[in-house]
């Protein structure tokens, strides 16, 4: 990734979001891309761009996080961004598909290995930078207790639904078990 392009991408994210989420998604996506011999350029670009239409700094953050369609808007914005930078049509389409399907929601399924990798890496990032989720969830829930419960559900969903590649599960297995153990212990006091 060219330094100039990386600088453009960085500017699209809030600093903490880039540091604790995007960079962790990129790291895990590249691990999987190497293991599965996927197209590394597509995977890297899509990992960097996948949340470009999601901002946690908005005033209506509560509603926005719950209801937004940032994968759809993000796919459109990625296409415009990459076109402006002069990337070819095929590359743009491949990256855009990864961005569109990264949430694994609805009937928009990842159709390529690169898209599956980005969706998995998106979930894997939450295991790497787990405590950052509290920062996000405390802003979007009414209480600490509510945040704990919602984080537990999110981590279960990540593990059971989003980690569709066995290679991804294997990489984060220890962290998943540790996180669930600590949440279970905390819940005895809630
Ligand atoms: Fe996202
Ligand atoms: Fe993400």
Q: Distance from the CA of 162 to the center of ligand 1, in angstroms? A: 12
Q: How far is the CA of 57 from the centre of ligand 1 (A)?
A: 15
Q: At what angle do helices 40-49 and 3-10 cross, to 10 degrees?
A: 30
- CA 8 – ligand 2 centroid, Å: 18
- Between the CA atoms of 93, 98, 99 and 101, what dihedral angle is there, to the nearest 10 degrees? 120
Please report, for the chain, the start and end positions of each structural domain, with discontinuous segments joined by +: 3-187
Q: 3-187 in CATH: which number?
A: 1.10.3210.10
| Nearest ligand by distance to the CA of 65 | 1
8 A C-beta contact, residue 24 and residue 125: yes
Mean of the pLDDT values across residues 121-148? Answer: 92
Question: What confidence tier does 151 reach under pLDDT thresholds 50, 70, 90?
Answer: very high
Contact assessment for residue 24 and residue 124, using Cβ atoms and an 8 Å cutoff: yes
Q: Is the confidence at residue 104, as pLDDT, over 90?
A: no
- Ligand 1 geometric centre to CA of 163 (Å): 14
* Alpha-helix runs per DSSP H in 50-165: 61-67, 70-84, 89-101, 113-128, 132-140, 144-157
Tell me the CA–centroid distance for residue 171 and ligand 1, in Å.
Answer: 21
pLDDT digits (tens, 9 = 90+) for 22-55: 999 999 999 999 999 999 999 999 999 999 998 7
Ligand nearest to the CA of 22: 2
**Cβ atoms within 10 Å of 122's Cβ, excluding its own:** 26
How far does residue 27's CA lie from ligand 2's centre (Å)? 13
Summarised one tens digit per residue, pLDDT across range 65-85 is 545 789 999 999 999 999 999
Q: Label residue 181 exposed, middle or buried (CB < 10 Å: 0-12, 13-18, 19+).
A: exposed
User: pLDDT for 105-122, tens place per residue?
Assistant: 767 889 999 999 999 999
């Amino acid at each position: 990734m060219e330094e100039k392009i990386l600088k453009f991408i960085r500017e699209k994210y809030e600093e903490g979001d880039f540091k604790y989420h995007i960079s962790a998604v990129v790291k895990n996506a590249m691990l999987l891309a190497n293991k599965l011999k996927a197209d590394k350029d597509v995977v890297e670009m899509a990992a960097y761009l996948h949340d470009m239409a999601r901002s946690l700094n908005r005033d209506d953050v509560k509603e926005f996080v719950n209801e937004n369609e940032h994968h759809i808007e993000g796919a459109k914005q990625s296409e415009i961004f990459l076109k402006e930078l002069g990337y070819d049509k095929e590359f743009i389409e491949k990256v855009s598909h990864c961005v569109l399907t990264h949430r694994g929601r609805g009937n928009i399924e990842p159709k390529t290995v690169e898209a599956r990798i980005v969706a998995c890496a998106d979930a894997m990032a939450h295991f790497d930078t787990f405590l950052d989720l509290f920062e996000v969830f405390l802003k979007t829930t009414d209480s600490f207790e509510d945040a704990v419960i919602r984080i537990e559900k999110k981590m279960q969903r990540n593990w059971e639904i989003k980690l569709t590649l066995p290679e991804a599960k294997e990489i984060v297995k220890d962290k998943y078990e540790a996180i669930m153990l600590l949440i279970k212990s905390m819940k005895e006091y809630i």
